[in-house]
Structure 1
């Protein structure tokens, strides 16, 4: 009976962790620290970007990295943004950093409470792309003030505005038509986050960048095309794209914040952008002294990302398919194409 109970307990533990992904840190400056990556957007493939970043931070820099996803409760599969269900948010209780890539989430109260508790203790945050509009919560619900359109007197414009320094403003460049060149501001090149950063080019179209305060590090220039050497869009001058700031928790603690308006998995194939993100994560973790120009930012395991698009995520993937460092990200390229009929195969 004792062994049966032990087996049942162990099995229940596996079930409890089935919806999340954990990479135990190896040697590095992050050894003993815990990063929780939270993926939940509809379009920009956060479910591919964040496990790739987590592997880098665990394998090369020693962090324990937990990755949480939008999960379909019926199938246990990773989905893109909908339904708003991210199991495992209790991992934030031991987090030293939260890396957030969310869009229009309205999480169950018991999940959202863990996120609110993390902010209330002033935990540092890295916010990517759509996290400026991470939450869309009806006014009558308990956590409505975190919504990107919040009119709460004590939390105007929600999490994006109050923590990341900007709520949703709008597109600046055209996705899939105009890529983006990101350039460090000359006067900020000595900042640790910019150490070794050069030749940054991302495939995501530019966002309007209007941070309310903080230290702007980079500027984004829309390009008239989808290659790094595409000409600039003359009518669109550069806008801020990455910055640092702090937010004040109810307990008075100042939480560090690094915000990037980019971050699709295709963006991460660019060495310059990947270095920018690794440096930003280290800085937000309070480990800026560990940042060097030649820090290892190499990808870990096969990485052939799917092109971003609304609800065009890879199908049939569960978190455990990304365990270890050798499984491919994404696990397949069987992407959903809403409203499109599959073409019949033809001989070539």
Structure 2
């Protein structure tokens, strides 16, 4: 019976995903009973392959009953190019977003796209932010959006920018050795029953632990044990790197210009390869439910709807020549 249900779910996801798609973004309509909520997923980083992970997460969210729209960085021919930090396709989707999932790095979008993003922020849209979203933006000092930059000064209004002031942390450092030492999650005991951790077991990722000291008030959910290698069975590094362990996932609320604060979930994990771990996918999905003040499933089904082989994180090795529809998991 279980196998039959799984097959039906995958078939339903496939039918939804393979429907005619727009040329510059992806839309996954709910393949389960629609819950009326629209999640907009923002891809656009040069290293961690969010252009591959966001479509996969969008398909999983559609299976949960959400409408999911995935936006990309595109070149003039409509080809996905994550190195083009000034481009966000179909940003008008942000005008109707109920929640945002993002994995972006050093973006410097046009005024219209930024106005739409800020509009979503100021109406209290919850955000689930992954990995390099802590340093999501990088504008020139004289830009009207300079306060969003990862290195913004106090005089801009937001010291250390969107990452620090909204998500709770900006870029700090590679605490673990990049591409050598992995990350194993350890639950913060005091917050073990937080809804975002529902059904979430130990996460292992091949990215390293980022330096982080989330801005108060923040609720630490997970800390990162630095491992000696990128093997999931690797023992922990001995010494100061794991004493104390650095936060790798937390929640907080951000007070915007409206009366509805943004519920924020931030994790410094989130490369496409990290999201091969079902427990990290479940953390993200749970974050969407929690952010929207919906009941979080006891163990959300985060089955990947097809064959998904994420690229290793790298500044050089993104899959070139692809349109958004080529990134649907099949």
User: Taking structure 2 as the reference length, what is the TM-score of the superposition?
Assistant: 0.89
Q: Which residue of 1 aligns with 2:105?
A: 103
Describe how 1:148-297 pairs up with structure 2 within 5 A. 148-151=150-153, 152-213=155-216, 214-235=218-239, 236-237=241-242, 238-287=245-294, 289-292=295-298, 294-297=299-302
Q: Which residue of 1 aligns with 2:321?
A: 316
- How big is the shift at 1:144? 1.0
Describe how 1:35-50 pairs up with structure 2 within 5 A. 35-50=39-54
In the aligned structure 1, how far is the partner of 2:290 from the partner of 2:166?
16
**1:111-148 C-alpha deviation (Å, 9 max, x unpaired):** 11111111122211111100111000001111111111
In the aligned structure 2, how far is the partner of 1:117 from the partner of 1:307?
34
Question: Which consecutive unaligned segments of at least 5 residues does structure 1 have?
Answer: 1-13, 328-348
Q: Which residue of 2 aligns with 1:24?
A: 29
Secondary structure of 1:290 counterpart: coil
The structure with the larger Rg is 1
In the aligned structure 2, how far is the partner of 1:83 from the partner of 1:268?
23
In the aligned structure 1, how far is the partner of 2:283 from the partner of 2:292?
14
Calculate the aligned-residue CA RMSD, in Å: 1.6
User: Are 1:119 and 2:121 matched, yes or no?
Assistant: yes
Q: Is the 8 A contact 2:286 2:296 kept in 1?
A: no
User: Taking structure 1 as the reference length, what is the TM-score of the superposition?
Assistant: 0.84
In the aligned structure 1, how far is the partner of 2:84 from the partner of 2:300?
36
In the aligned structure 2, how far is the partner of 1:178 from the partner of 1:25?
38
Q: Is the 8 A contact 2:47 2:313 kept in 1?
A: yes
Q: Which range moves more in the overlay, 150-159 or 206-215? A: 150-159
Instruction: Count how many residue pairs are aligned between Structure 1 and Structure 2.
Output: 306
Q: Is the 8 A contact 1:80 1:311 kept in 2?
A: no
Q: Which residue of 1 aligns with 2:15?
A: none
In the aligned structure 1, how far is the partner of 2:72 from the partner of 2:88?
6
In the aligned structure 1, how far is the partner of 2:205 from the partner of 2:264?
21
Question: Which consecutive unaligned segments of at least 5 residues does structure 2 have?
Answer: 1-19
**1:70-91 C-alpha deviation (Å, 9 max, x unpaired):** 1112x21111232420121110
In the aligned structure 1, how far is the partner of 2:29 from the partner of 2:297?
21
